[in-house]
Amino acid sequence: MPTDTAKSDRDLLQLLTSISHIDLSQLDMATVAIQLGAILQSQFPHDFIDLTWWSVDGEEICLRETTIPGCTVACWPLSTAVQQDEPMLIDDLMQKEMWKGSPNSLLRSELLIPLHSRKDVIGVLELGSKTAYAFTPMQRQRARTLAGHLAPLLSNSYLLQAERRQREQLQALDRIEHVIASSLDVDEVFETFAEQAAYLVPHEAISVTLLSEDGRSLERFALAAATQIAPQVGEHQPLDETVAGLVVSSGRTIWTNDMALDERFRGTNDLRWVAEGFHSFISAPLRAKSRIIGALNVLARKPDFYTPSEVAMVEQVANAIAIFVDNMYLHAHVRWLAIAEERNRIARDIHDTLMQSLTTIILQLDTVEQNHQKDEHLCTDLQRVRQIAQRALAESRRHVWGLRPNALEERPLPQVLHDELEFWQQASDVPTRLFVRGEGELSTAVEVAILRIMQEALHNIYKYASAHAVHVDLEYNAQDVRLLINDDGVGFDPQQRLTESSVMSSGFGLIVMSERARAAGGQLHVSSWPGNGTRIEAVFSRELRESVTDTVNVRSQAPLIARILVVDDHMLIRQGLIELLKKIEGLSVIGEAGDGDAAVDAVRRLHPDLVLMDMRLPGIDGAAATKQLLSEYPDLHIIMLTNSDDKNDLARAIEAGAHGYILKEASIEQLAETIRAVLRGEAVVERRITRHLFERFNHLLRKQHQSDELSVRELEVLRLVVEGKRNKDIAEALVVSEHTVKSHISNIFQKLGVADRASAVSTALRRDLYKR
């Protein structure tokens, strides 16, 4: 018969063998702790076990298993064992005065054994029991032997995980730096940044905020967070209302373990994050050379989440983002310089050719007049021709002045209008007066529209009105801004003028002014009576944002078909759609939005006739936004745009009430025809997608007979997803391609009725699918 000692040795050997089988290279520290707990629990007769160790960077990692409700770790035995660096046995805790009345009063005996790595204590193994004198000398020795094997195991486990994480961080940094160095596409760069940031710094929300041009606020430039409470992209916040503003002002990183307890967050807008359940926060300045241009912010819900090494990583990533933003600014500046240079080149060409020729003609006319002073009729004709040439020269000077760097970028709007009136008065000899009431900031689109409308009106007055005086009023009101132009000229019948040839009359000018006003979200009113002068009034809302287009299509005199709002979360796609719409006669783009909430707000402000809505948007998606808008505005027309011909998207769009459904790759002809058809009251679905309607109904008929059971292979894939494996790891484990893995995961999502990996894991755990 084997002795108790031999059996104990075999049990210990079996225990150590089980520990050695833990695959440290594939598991994270939490999984290592869980497996160790199960092994220790099976071999030691105890009611409480605590395994505490310290990583090389000082992080404390604990595993606690107990059958005693409310039992916690006693600090004084733990610290004493570490200080003495010797195994510590407490046969009866109730004999310790400091232990009486503690919440752990049910715990009677403890055995604490320091864990060594080389000469250093890296942790403590603590065993507890509800029974006094529970541990025998043999059990103490087994625990001591076990501790000697646990120390290198834990140390190696941490080092392996740290090495893998550092490798992933280096790869992520390399990908981020590569896309920053090779692209100026904002969407591409921040899509890569959002994907790789998870490998660099663990987080549940991350954002980039940039300093505004006036230096008084921060604009949310990019955001990745599963919350709608946080400030969205494009939103401005004053510097003194957010901690990121303090980071930008001071140029120093701010790191807090709990925003709810940090005085710096009191009274700031950042408390919205706290209300959403976030606590840990790092904000690092974006430093471009010697300038601070913004901040990179990362957040986590758990308090005391971030370590100094992660703060340093955030600062390193912030430096990379700052390089990209600075390059983006430089690229925009270079483009502006190129445009300015082209303007100057054209101005020089006009000066060197047309203006020089006109000047020569005027000088020659003066010479001819001097040589024929006795011929009064000829001198009269020469004076008339010279006046025409002088006016042409003055007009050329005006155009050269207009082609130079935008006056609105150098002077406020009232000053630009004053200078334009003064210039026109000198050329026309007609007295002018400008009256400005109030002040305020306007969007660039509105300022340009006001300037161009006044220039066109003055041009018409000069050519047709025979006026003796022109009065211009610019009124800044609470809700709008008004431009009023009055002349005492011959007047006209506005309706008759609009029916005349646009080439031979000022009718074309009226159309241009009207469309300029409408394109900037305003309205133009013309009042005139033959013999009684003319009054032109342009009214613009002061709530319009920069997104309203400041250009207008003047190729057609046809009345506008519709006012269009473009909604897409990708800036480049929005700009592309707007450019396409400009080429469709009769359409006017009055605004744009980058997400569902902004779309709802824009419709309420701008009242468009038709909305081109992206299906997949941040916040509320296109289908949800469509449903909400149509409940408020039943007469509104909405066409859904998408990159995908997914039949589920089509079904959701139809259920939401969309009037049209078209792919973004559609030609301009298809887009134009779809818009016209929807405005006629028709429902339009692109021909390539129509088959999905039939497939959808067939699917509904078959659905009750079909099984949503996962296949054997899909269960294997799901099991690996639950274990936290990436697509690449799953492909290697199953010896298939990543494309095949993605296909399996897509099928799993569809069968489980989920949209992402987290939901799939949650469903699998709830239904025990991963155990099949």
Q: Which pLDDT does position 692 carry in this prediction?
A: 55
CATH architecture, range 426-549: 2-Layer Sandwich (3.30)
Domain locations along the chain: 4-165, 166-332, 426-549, 562-684, 712-771
Residue type, 582: K
Q: How many residues does the chain have?
A: 772
Q: Which pLDDT does position 283 carry in this prediction?
A: 92
Give the DSSP letter string of 276-334. TT--EEEEEEEEETTEEEEEEEEEESSTT---HHHHHHHHHHHHHHHHHHHHHHHHHHH
Whether 768 shows a pLDDT value over 50: the answer reads yes
Residue spans of alpha helices (H) in 538-634:
571-582, 596-606, 622-632
Nearest to 211 by CA among 282, 286, 152: 286
562-684 under CATH 3.40.50.2300, yes or no: yes
Alpha-carbon span 198 to 753, nearest angstrom:
26
Cα-Cα-Cα-Cα torsion 271, 276, 278, 284, nearest 10 degrees, comes to -60
Q: State mean pLDDT over 274-296.
A: 87
Alpha-carbon span 567 to 556, nearest angstrom:
25
Nearest to 217 by CA among 188, 248, 191: 248
Residue 407: in which H helix or E strand, if any?
helix 407-410
Whether 399 shows a pLDDT value over 80: the answer reads no
142-201 pLDDT tens trace: 777 777 777 777 777 667 767 777 777 777 777 777 766 666 666 676 777 777 777 777
> What percent of the chain lies above the pLDDT cut of 90?
8
**CATH classification code of 166-332:** 3.30.450.40
Residue 89: exposure state from Cβ atoms within 10 A (0-12, 13-18, ≥19): middle
Lowest mean pLDDT among 136-150, 166-180, 206-220, 349-363: 349-363
Alpha-carbon span 472 to 491, nearest angstrom:
17
Q: Which pLDDT does position 69 carry in this prediction?
A: 47
Whether 536 shows a pLDDT value over 90: the answer reads yes
Residue spans of alpha helices (H) in 127-268:
137-182, 186-200, 243-250
Average pLDDT of the chain to the nearest whole number? 74
712-754 pLDDT tens trace: 888 888 888 887 788 888 888 888 888 788 888 888 888 887 7
Name the band, by pLDDT with cuts 50, 70 and 90, for residue 772.
Answer: low
Name the band, by pLDDT with cuts 50, 70 and 90, for residue 509.
Answer: low
Q: Which pairs from 21-26 meet CB under 8 Å and 24+ separation?
A: 22/153, 22/157, 24/153, 24/156, 24/157, 24/160, 24/161, 25/160, 25/164
Whether 276 shows a pLDDT value over 80: the answer reads yes
**CATH classification code of 712-771:** 1.10.10.10
Q: Which pLDDT does position 229 carry in this prediction?
A: 47
Whether 669 shows a pLDDT value over 60: the answer reads yes
Name the band, by pLDDT with cuts 50, 70 and 90, for residue 485.
Answer: very high
Contacts of 317 by beta carbon, 8 Å cutoff, 6+ apart: 173, 176, 197, 200, 201, 284, 296
Q: State mean pLDDT over 273-289.
A: 88
Q: Which pLDDT does position 118 carry in this prediction?
A: 67
Give the DSSP letter string of 619-683. SS-HHHHHHHHHHH-TT-EEEEEES---HHHHHHHHHHT-SEEEETT--HHHHHHHHHHHHTT--
492 contacts 454 by C-beta, under 8 angstroms? no
Q: Which pLDDT does position 406 carry in this prediction?
A: 46
Tokens found for residue 668: 């301009």
* pTM score over 0.75: no
Q: Which residue has the higher pLDDT, 714 or 345?
A: 714
Q: DSSP label at 237?
A: E
Whether 299 shows a pLDDT value over 80: the answer reads yes
Beta bridge partners, 237, equal 218
The strand pair at 660-663 and 684-685 is best described as parallel
Name the band, by pLDDT with cuts 50, 70 and 90, for residue 482.
Answer: very high
Name the band, by pLDDT with cuts 50, 70 and 90, for residue 31.
Answer: low
Name the band, by pLDDT with cuts 50, 70 and 90, for residue 408.
Answer: low
CA angle 134, 137, 138 (to 5 degrees): 105
Start-to-end CA span in the chain (Å): 42
Name the band, by pLDDT with cuts 50, 70 and 90, for residue 359.
Answer: low
Domain 4-165 in CATH: superfamily? GAF domain (3.30.450.40)
Nearest to 508 by CA among 474, 561, 464: 464
Name the band, by pLDDT with cuts 50, 70 and 90, for residue 687.
Answer: low
Alpha-carbon span 770 to 77, nearest angstrom:
41
Alpha-carbon span 416 to 399, nearest angstrom:
15
Q: Which pLDDT does position 724 carry in this prediction?
A: 77
Q: Which pLDDT does position 579 carry in this prediction?
A: 78
Q: Which pLDDT does position 319 carry in this prediction?
A: 85
668 contacts 678 by C-beta, under 8 angstroms? no
579-636 pLDDT tens trace: 778 878 778 888 899 888 899 998 988 888 899 998 888 888 888 999 999 888 888 8
Residue type, 590: I
Q: Which pLDDT does position 136 carry in this prediction?
A: 75
Residue spans of alpha helices (H) in 22-91:
29-43, 75-84
Q: State mean pLDDT over 420-442.
A: 86
Alpha-carbon span 116 to 152, nearest angstrom:
8
- Whether 712-771 and 562-684 are alike in CATH topology: the answer is no
Alpha-carbon span 242 to 734, nearest angstrom:
49
508 contacts 469 by C-beta, under 8 angstroms? no
Q: Which residue has the tokens 């983006």?
A: 328
Q: Which residue has the higher pLDDT, 390 or 344?
A: 390
Whether 240 shows a pLDDT value over 70: the answer reads yes
Beta carbons within 10 angstroms of residue 156's beta carbon: 13
Q: Which residue has the higher pLDDT, 150 or 252?
A: 252
608 contacts 636 by C-beta, under 8 angstroms? yes
CA angle 433, 434, 439 (to 5 degrees): 165
**Axis-axis angle for helices 647-656, 687-703 (nearest 10):** 90
